[in-house]
C-alpha cells in the first residue's frame, strides 16, 4: 500500500470517528480499485468541487 493511501485511510478513519460520517467505496473507472469517499456526498457534487 502506498504511503498516501495509508495516510488517506487513517485520516478518514479519524474524521469518521470524531464527526460521525461513514465512508463508502466509489468506482472511478471500470477495472480500477475503488476510492473511499464520505458516504452521502453525491457524485455530481464531487465533480463540481475543484480538485486540490
pLDDT in tens, the chain (52 residues): 688 888 988 988 898 899 988 889 888 889 998 888 888 888 888 888 886 6
Query: Distances in Å between the alpha carbon of 13 and those of 3, 8, 21, 45?
Result: 15, 9, 10, 22
* CB distance 28 to 35 below 8 Å: yes
Record the pTM. Answer: 0.56
Amino acid at each position: 500500500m502506498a504511503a498516501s493511501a495509508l495516510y488517506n485511510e487513517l485520516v478518514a478513519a479519524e474524521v469518521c470517528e470524531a464527526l460521525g460520517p461513514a465512508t463508502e467505496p466509489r468506482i472511478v473507472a471500470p477495472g480500477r480499485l475503488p476510492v473511499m469517499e464520505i458516504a452521502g456526498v453525491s457524485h455530481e457534487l464531487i465533480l463540481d468541487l475543484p480538485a486540490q
